[in-house]
């Protein structure tokens, strides 16, 4: 429910609170160490070929503009595979029904 600084005279209190929270100092040569680790990681990724074609494909599919197209393609593939499977089942059932009607009782 605190909506910012309600009392404009509290600037001194804010400054006092900020001063009471000291920030720790960074170790010596911290920034140099960070950049060295980043460069080592990039060199390792380049040398091991960590980026595979699958990583590139996943990165492409997860982009927002391709996400809808990917989902649409997967839904369409599911519908087509379902329709194909349905026709196969219907054909097998029709064959079984035909054999039941045509075949004599002794062959059943």
**22 in helix, strand or coil?**
coil
Give the residue, 78 or 15, on which the prediction is more confident. 78
> What domain count does the chain have?
2
Any domain includes 15: no
pLDDT digits (tens, 9 = 90+) for 19-53: 888 777 888 888 889 999 888 888 776 766 656 77
Cα 91 from Cα 94, distance rounded (Å): 5
Token digits of residue 68 = 């809808």
Question: Can you give the pLDDT at residue 4?
Answer: 57
Statement to judge: residues 72 and 57 lie in one domain: no
**Same domain? 54 vs 72:** no
Residue numbers of the domain that contains 48 = 29-62
User: What pLDDT sits at residue 73?
Assistant: 93
Quote the CA–CA distance of 12 and 7 in Å, as a whole number: 11
Residue 87 has pLDDT above 70, yes or no: yes
Residues 10 and 5: their CA atoms lie apart, in Å, by 8
Asked, for residue 51, whether it belongs to a domain, the answer is yes
């Amino acid at each position: 429910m605190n909506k910012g600084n309600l009392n404009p005279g509290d600037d001194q209190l804010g400054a006092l609170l900020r001063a009471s929270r000291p920030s720790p100092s960074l170790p010596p040569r911290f920034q140099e160490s960070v950049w060295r680790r980043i460069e080592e990681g990039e060199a390792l990724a380049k040398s091991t070929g960590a980026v595979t074609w699958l990583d590139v494909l996943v990165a492409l599919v997860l982009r927002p503009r391709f996400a809808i197209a990917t989902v649409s393609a997967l839904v369409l593939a599911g519908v087509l595979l379902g329709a194909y499977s349905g026709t196969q089942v219907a054909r097998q059932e029709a064959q079984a029904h035909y054999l039941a009607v045509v075949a004599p009782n002794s062959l059943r």
